[in-house]
Amino acid sequence: MPLTLTLTPNFSEPGKRYFRAFSPGDDFYEMLIEAHRDLSDEQSAMLNAKLILLLANHIGDLSVLREALGHARDGV
């Protein structure tokens, strides 16, 4: 895990070759929106909360998470 938060494009799938720079990010975004399909707003909020907890645990490094929380809070 990096010691600071990655803010440059970072999506990829091991073993997959991309010919266009926008493809891996678009793949992720579609997965994300697809995961919410047919959910009510409340169900979606629950999905998001669980997703954040899962990813936060995966990242683990609290200094990285602190930085991400700061950026997320910014301007809200």
Partner 1 sequence: MLKTYTYPKYEYQQPQEQKERSAARYPVVIVGAGPVGMAAAIDCRLQGIPVVLLDEDDTVSIGSRGVCYAKRALEILDRLGVGDRVVEKGVSWNVGRTFFREEEVFNFNLLPEPDHKRPGMINLQQYYLEQYLVERCVELGVDMRWKNRVVSVQRMSDGVRLTIETPDGTYGIEADWLIAADGARSPIRKQMNLEVDGKVFMDRFLIADVVMKADFPAERWFWFDPPFHPNQSVLLHRQADSVWRIDFQLGWDADPEEEKKPANVIPRIKAMLGDEREFELEWVSVYTFQCRRMQEFRHGRVLFVGDAAHQVSPFGARGANSGIQDTDNLVWKLKLVLDGKAPERLLDTYSTERVAAADENLMNSTRSTDFITPKSNTSRMFRNAVLTLAEHHSFARALVNSGRLSVPAFLADSTLNTADADEFSGAMVPGAPMDDAPVGVDGKKAWLLDQTGNRFQLLYFTDVAERLGGKLDELRGLSMDPVPVEPVIVSEKAGAAAGVRVLHDLQHLVARRYDAREGSVYLLRPDQHVVARWRKFDAHKIRAAVARATCN
Distance between CA atoms of residues 49 and 21, nearest Å: 29
Provide the 10 A C-beta neighbour count for residue 35: 12
Identify whether the C-beta of residue 1 lies closer than 8 Å to the C-beta of residue 61. Answer: yes
Q: What one-letter code names the amino acid at 55?
A: L
Q: Enumerate residues 41-70 that contact partner 1 by CB under 8 A.
A: 41, 44-45, 48
Out of 22, 51, 53, 62, which residue is the one contacting partner 1 (CB under 8 A)? 22
Q: Report the nearest approach of partner 1 to the CB of residue 48 (Å).
A: 8
75 is a contact residue toward partner 1 (CB under 8 A): yes
For the record, the structure tokens of 43 come out as: 């169900």
Which residues form the interface with partner 1 (CB under 8 A)?
6-10, 17, 19-22, 25-26, 28-30, 32-33, 36, 39, 41, 44-45, 48, 71, 74-75
